[in-house]
Amino acid sequence: MEEEKKRLEEILRFQGIEEAGAKSKKLFLYKGMLEDKRKWACLVSRGLASQYETVVADSVALAGQLENSTKMEVADFGAGGGLLGLVLAIVCPAWNVTLIEASSRKAAFLAEAAGELNLANVEIENARAESLVGKQEFDMVVSRAAGKLKELAPVAFALLKQGGRYVALKAAQVEDEIAEARAENIRGIEVLKAQYPLSHGVAGRASIVVIKKL
């Protein structure tokens, strides 16, 4: 238990996250909640649950590449069990994070987890992202392995303020997806390679795709 907390803390410190000790404890508690409710809400696969530290390292790598101490309105659409959005809310308390999830059970889990973790910067929207267009606007929209960029970017843009960014956590090889997106006239694409402490992976295991709403 203590060793796992230390490994989580190492991930946070590597990315320059402040108060890494306290935040790693919350990440550890969140893991327990995922394990308890995994089957009830179909939160994550058994394989993904066993790779919790790896998944957290990917999400925290995204935070490490962005202005993680700057106040922002952020949305995670297709939030699932919160492995991106809820992790970002824990490590970036300056961000107000809206978790958008169509599944009622998953949304209920997210609300319960946010409450138990005392995350005052989290809001839950039990809805499809498309239904929020015109009702809310965000500085940044994020997603994790939710679909192809050419399909997701237009939805993200509809939720973004002008000049806002859609940030997608993707697999290492994203060249084909980016080519497809550009063929759909989606511009302003930048690709960042996730960085990790040596004990948690190699640089470039995941790609962070940033697309600005021009």
Q: Return binding residues for S-adenosyl-L-methionine.
A: 78, 83, 101-103, 129-130, 144
Rounded-to-integer distance, Cα 144 and Cα 80, Å:
9
Q: What is the dihedral of CA 151, 178, 137, 130, to 10 degrees?
A: 10
95: Cβ contacts below 8 Å, ≥ 6 apart = 68, 71, 72, 73, 74, 88, 89, 121
Contact status, residue 86 vs residue 106, Cβ threshold 8 Å: no
Which residue in the block uniquely carries the two structure tokens 């809001």?
Answer: 123
Pick the closest to residue 213 from 138, 148, 147, 145 (CA basis): 138
Q: What is the DSSP letter of 144?
A: E
Q: Which residues sit in the known binding site?
A: 78, 83, 101-103, 129-130, 144
Interior CA angle at 101 toward 95 and 132, to 5°? 75
81 residue type, one letter: G
Q: Which helix (H) or strand (E) holds 204?
A: none
Which residue in the block uniquely carries the two structure tokens 């508690």?
Answer: 29
Sign of CA dihedral 44, 60, 151, 106: positive
